[in-house]
Amino acid sequence: MKKIIISIFVASYLVAGVSATDVEAKYTNKSIKIEATSKPVQNINLGFANTTGNTKTTNLNAKYSLTHLVSGLNNEELKYIFNLSGYLTKSNGTRINEEYMATLSAEQFLVDGWLGYATFSWLKNEFKNYNNKFSIIAGVGKSIFDDGRHKVILKVGPGYNIEQYSNTQTDKSYGSINEYLEYTNKLNDISNLYLKVGALQNIEDVSNDYEATALLGVDFAMGGGISISLEQELAYDNLPPTGFKKSDTKSIVRVGYKF
């Protein structure tokens, strides 16, 4: 409990206006480094910032994840993962941004670095015109390079998407092809540099209806289960909801606690 209190106390002094997109969860599933076999591993990330003066702005964001490793097909490792995140931004008492996202997925390790995965995700962000956005994705992935310091993971698979809009725009559903690429560089014993890139194409209109998200970040282990991460994100949607821009950027500072 003491560590949780310390984590929240530190988080309250960091500017974390929005929560970064979980690129892997958005385009494939959510893969977390295996750290437990007999008991679940949980992570909590919190951020808070408040400004006063000419403009009164409040930013809140939180993220929770749970992963559990069990024995699956042919006694290979099977992971169950649940993630829940949200953020809220108010300016002079008026909400100017708000988003919630949940994912539930499973990842089955096969052989020689290959794996299979399936995931269900939900997103709500009325400020981007999404009253609800559902995705069901399945596919395969492989660790194509890993020398202990540098690691590259590639995933690809089909998906089915349902988008329900907040305005009068007609809701739509469509099949997609989803791709994900992750590069991790272990800088030293306490820090990692990572790049995550995900993309999605509408099967019926590949050349026009597509989106992509890229995230570059670095994290630092502070000891006692506490970590700090700095991230920069760029998202692009070639056919965004009516009245919205194609590109969006985020800068994120987060404090996390693992237990």
Q: What is the CATH number of domain 2-258?
A: 2.40.160.40
Residue 31 pLDDT > 60, yes or no? no
With a threshold of 0.85, does the pTM exceed it? no
List, for residues 55-70, the tens digit of each pLDDT value: 678 888 888 999 888 8
The owner of tokens 């994290």 is: 219
Percent of the chain at pLDDT > 90 equals 42
Say how far apart CA 200 and CA 157 lie, in whole Å: 10
Task: Supply φ then ψ for residue 24, to 5 degrees.
Answer: -65, -40
pLDDT tens for each residue of 130-182:
999 999 999 999 988 899 899 999 999 999 999 999 988 899 999 999 999 99
Q: Where are the domains of the chain?
A: 2-258
DSSP codes of every residue in 46-92: EEEEEE-SSS-EEEEEEEEEEEEEEE-GGG-EEEEEEEEEEEEEEET
Residue 89 has pLDDT above 90, yes or no: no
pLDDT at 38: 53
Instruction: Give the dihedral of Cα atoms 150, 108, 21, 171; nearest 10 deg.
Output: 140
Residue 126: other Cβ atoms inside 10 A? 15
Report the alpha-carbon distance of residue 197 to residue 26 in Å, rounded.
10
- C-beta of residue 24 within 8 angstroms of C-beta of residue 137: no
Q: Is residue 195 a contact partner of residue 179, using CB atoms and an 8 Å limit?
A: no
Termini Cα distance of the chain = 11
**Worst-scoring range by mean pLDDT, 97-101, 193-197, 199-203?**
97-101
Three-class SS of residue 128?
Answer: helix
Q: Is the dihedral of CA 116, 101, 127, 9 positive or negative?
A: negative
Q: Which of 134, 150, 158, 74 is nearest to 108 (CA)?
A: 74
User: What is the H or E stretch that residue 7 is in?
Assistant: helix 2-11
Q: How many CB atoms lie within 10 A of CB 208?
A: 10
One-letter amino acid at 53 equals: G
Structure tokens of 49? 């910032």
